[in-house]
């Protein structure tokens, strides 16, 4: 069959890889590069280069088994990087570094009984992740969970809501409705593992480019945005230059908002269209820059992750150049603040808002997938708003359209091997 995959983020790339052996696959993206939200922007400072991430950056051990299996298969080396988080609490004029790195940080934490209580409750919340994941209860929101489990009433508004809002780059007002399941399932770590994230030398684009090299039987149409889709003995895709191509099957690997736009003129997909347009998003802008005024005021409080609570809004800077202590930063731009200088790169995104309703929409979507030859995949379509969900969502069309896919078989076997030998993923580092 002739299959169009629209969107060359990880979900679309995986779908193309799974389907290309049995079908004639064309992969479209309006951007001129592969990877979508997983995209590295290199900043050269003299002889040194910092590989700053414009999108997906953080991934952990237990919550990313498919990504770790894929990286192992692709032979992409990775390493575990212990991370510290600075939380700058402007309303209370207090900055804490977690975990503390020096006696000064310990003293700063102990100076406020209120902050110490919040930090201990944060620890309790993190420790409850396994139980919450086992319960798989999508209906319980973060604020309900805190209430039911007798966290102090100030922990939410004073600490955990701003903390999560800044970490996700999501609006503060949305955080109390975050499903506790989706929050904690992403943050889970192996027991005894120090807080941190995996990193890929050269950035996440190293892996998307390596995956791109596996797409040997896929026709790549990068820099080709699809403007419109109509039904006509299959599906006719019109690109932004007005060229039209016909396909038998359609996999939309975009955001829910973009999928809804593309399905607007496809009567057969009315059900999927309604579901896709019911997901909600927020607008966000990421800047890569060299301006230290977007970091905590005192240098000894700089961490890899720096969260700012301004009272009515939050924002984050992560220190892309932390490994070599170089001044390259990534900031989720706070409103009304002038752009940093020097400014290296700027990207605007719309990002999914997580709430319990998403699970209902995902179930509805699962019933409609493949009916009339259309599949919707991407990070919003299954589970939580993570890279792992994006990657796994490609299994949905693959299981139907190419159940014997050699690439799918390879990946599933690697997931299984990693599970029976859990240190495997790291040995690739
Ligand atoms: C700033 C940011 C930071 C993030 N950080 C993390 C993180 O640290 N860890 C994590 O797990 N997840 C993170 N995420 C979530 C991230 O979205 C997922 O990890 C994953 O990369 C999404 O993959 P995807 O394939 O679903 O979608 P995308 O990567 O968004 O790919 C969709 C593609 O569709 C293309 N497209 C859309 N419409 C059209 C059209 N009409 N024609 C042609 N092409 C089109 C787009 O150009 C895009 O390339 C982050 C997201 C953002 C925005």
Quick one: pLDDT at residue 423? 57
307 — phi, psi (to 5°)? -105, 135
Question: pLDDT digits over 142-196, tens only?
Answer: 999 999 999 999 999 999 999 999 999 999 999 999 999 999 998 787 877 888 9
Do residues 103 and 246 share a domain? no
**Domain limits at 51?**
2-58+66-76+200-279+356-427
Instruction: Using alpha carbons only, give the angle 302, 386, 421 rounded to the nearest 5 degrees.
Output: 95
Tokens 């993190």 label which residue? 126
Do residues 245 and 214 share a domain? yes
355 — phi, psi (to 5°)? -155, 165
User: Counting atoms of ligand 1 from 1, which one is nearest the CA of 381?
Assistant: 26
CATH of residue 224: 3.50.50.60
The answer to whether the beta carbons of residues 341 and 350 sit under 8 Å apart is no
Chosen domain end from 352, 378, 400: 352
Return the H-helix or E-strand segment holding 181: helix 180-187
Q: How far apart are CA 141 and CA 144, in angstroms?
A: 5
Structure tokens belonging to residue 349: 């995104």
Q: For residue 129, is pLDDT > 60?
A: yes
Structure tokens belonging to residue 407: 């690439």
| Average model confidence (pLDDT) across the chain | 95
Chosen domain end from 291, 322, 352: 352
- 2 Cα–ligand 1 center, Å: 24
Question: pLDDT digits over 2-54, tens only?
Answer: 999 999 999 999 999 999 999 999 999 999 999 999 999 999 999 999 999 99
Quick one: pLDDT at residue 427? 46
Do residues 304 and 340 share a domain? yes
**Angle of helix 406-420 versus helix 65-73 axis, rounded to 10:** 110
Q: For residue 429, is pLDDT > 80?
A: no
Residues with CB under 6 A from ligand 1: 6-12, 28-31, 36-38, 55-59, 225-226, 253-255, 258, 262, 286, 349, 351, 378-379, 385-387, 390
Do residues 171 and 288 share a domain? yes
Quick one: pLDDT at residue 1? 97
Do residues 229 and 267 share a domain? yes
Domain count, the chain: 2
Q: For ligand 1, atom 2, which residue shows the shortest CA distance?
A: 55
Do residues 231 and 305 share a domain? no
Quick one: pLDDT at residue 311? 96
Question: pLDDT digits over 255-309, tens only?
Answer: 999 999 999 999 999 999 999 999 999 999 999 999 999 999 999 999 999 999 9
Do residues 99 and 186 share a domain? yes
């Amino acid at each position: 069959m002739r299959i169009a995959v629209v969107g060359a983020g990880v979900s679309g790339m995986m779908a193309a890889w799974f389907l290309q052996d049995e079908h004639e696959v064309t992969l479209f993206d309006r951007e001129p590069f592969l990877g979508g939200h997983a995209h590295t922007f290199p900043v050269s400072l003299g002889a040194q280069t910092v590989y700053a991430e414009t999108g997906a950056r953080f991934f952990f051990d237990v919550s990313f088994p498919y990504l770790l299996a894929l990286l192992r298969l692709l032979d992409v080396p990775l390493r575990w990087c212990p991370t510290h988080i600075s939380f700058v609490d402007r309303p209370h004029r207090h900055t804490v570094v977690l975990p503390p790195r020096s006696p000064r940080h310990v003293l700063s934490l102990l100076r406020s009984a209120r902050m110490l209580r919040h930090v201990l409750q944060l620890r309790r919340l993190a420790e409850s992740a396994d139980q919450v994941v086992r319960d798989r209860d999508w209906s319980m929101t973060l604020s309900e969970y805190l209430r039911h489990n007798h966290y102090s009433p100030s922990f939410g508004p004073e600490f955990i809501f701003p903390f999560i809002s800044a970490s996700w780059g999501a609006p503060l007002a949305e955080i109390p409705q975050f499903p506790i399941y989706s929050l904690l399932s992403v943050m889970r770590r192996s027991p005894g593992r120090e807080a941190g994230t995996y990193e890929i030398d050269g950035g996440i684009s190293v892996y998307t480019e390596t995956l791109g090299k596996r797409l040997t039987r896929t026709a790549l149409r990068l820099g080709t945005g699809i403007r419109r889709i109509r039904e006509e003995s299959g599906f006719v895709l019109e690109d932004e230059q007005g060229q039209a191509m016909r396909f038998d099957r359609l996999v939309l690997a975009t955001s829910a908002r973009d999928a809804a736009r593309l399905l607007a003129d496809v009567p057969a997909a009315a059900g999927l269209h309604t579901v896709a347009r019911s997901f909600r998003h927020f607008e966000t802008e990421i800047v890569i820059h060299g301006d230290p005024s977007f970091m905590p005021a005192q240098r000894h409080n700089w961490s890899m992750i720096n969260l700012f609570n301004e009272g009515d809004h939050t924002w984050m800077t992560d220190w892309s150049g932390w490994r070599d202590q170089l001044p390259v930063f990534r900031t989720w731009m706070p409103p009304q603040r002038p752009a940093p200088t020097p400014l290296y790169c700027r990207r605007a995104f719309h990002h999914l808002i997580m709430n319990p309703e998403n699970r209902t929409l995902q179930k509805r979507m699962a019933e409609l997938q493949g009916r009339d030859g259309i599949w919707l995949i991407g990070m919003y379509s299954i589970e939580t708003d993570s890279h792992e969900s994006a990657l796994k969502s490609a299994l949905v069309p693959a299981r139907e359209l190419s159940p014997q896919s050699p690439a799918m078989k390879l990946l599933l076997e690697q997931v299984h091997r990693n599970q029976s030998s859990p240190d495997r993923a790291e040995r690739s580092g």
